[in-house]
Amino acid sequence: MRQVLSQFLRIKAERVRNIMAMFMMLGGPHIFVACQSDEPVARPYAYARAILPPVQPAQYRGNCIPVTFEYNAAANPVCLDPSELPQHSSKSSSNDPQWMNLSYPSLGAQWHLSYHPIEGVRYEDGRQVERRDALAVLMAETQRMTFKHTLKATAIEEELILNPEHKVYGTLYVVGGDAASQTQFYITDSVKHYLRGSLYFEVSPNGDSLQPYIAYLLKDMRRILETLRW
């Protein structure tokens, strides 16, 4: 019995030595270090890689609103029927505002654009605004719409738009943080035309995860504003 037990222990010891030798050949002493328990380390939160459509220039020729500009063909211009909008008034005229969207189906985003003839500006109760006050009323409304996002915004940067050659003046607002609309703008010739725009996504606003898409769409809008003609 002792002889059998001794032979069994000798075989086990030989197997252990063989396994140890194999470990040393494969990883050396580092393989044992890897087995040591370390304190857990938090990894940075990451988002899925943004897949952005290629930019393909196209020309908008005033089908919905009376302006022309160069835009990215990844977007679809969509005319909106004023009668279906909450701002619609039963007293329609040629001086009423006109609306359109630049929709990016692959990004779940839209630029909402509204064109306002300065001559036809009205107060909320329907009263006509005097022409000398119309531009100030439109600009005040745009600023109100932009700065209502300050509760969620971490910053609001303003970029002046100045194109005297083509009479295009205005301001582009870039809103940081988790605001519902990350970008707003207005442009005007200060006499006849006024165009307002805002960017919206079809998801809950998250400034960090949406940042690549915002940068892409903001570049598109800057190109539109550079090439816009009344």
Q: What integer is the mean pLDDT of 112-118?
A: 96
Share of the chain above pLDDT 90, in %: 50
Please, are residues 48 and 62 in contact by the beta-carbon 8 Å criterion? no
Q: What integer is the mean pLDDT of 157-163?
A: 95
Residue 222: C-alpha distances to residues 36, 71, 85, 161 (Å): 55, 10, 27, 9
pTM for this one? 0.74
Residue 120: C-alpha distances to residues 94, 99, 132 (Å): 8, 15, 12
| CA–CA dist 154, 156 (Å, integer) | 7
**What beta strand segments (E) does 137-191 contain?**
153-163, 168-177, 181-188
Which tens digits make up the pLDDT trace of 29-67?
A: 554 444 555 666 555 544 456 789 999 999 999 999 999
State both tokens at 10: 């000798």
Residue 227: C-alpha distances to residues 74, 167, 197, 221, 224 (Å): 17, 12, 15, 10, 5
Q: Which residue do the tokens 């003046």 mark?
A: 169
**pLDDT given at position 40:** 64
**pLDDT given at position 15:** 67
Q: Name the residue with higher pLDDT: 72 or 86.
A: 72
pLDDT at 210 over 90: no
| CA–CA dist 197, 217 (Å, integer) | 12
Q: How confident is the model at residue 224 (pLDDT cuts 50, 70, 90)?
A: very high
| CA–CA dist 207, 47 (Å, integer) | 12
pLDDT at 3 over 60: no
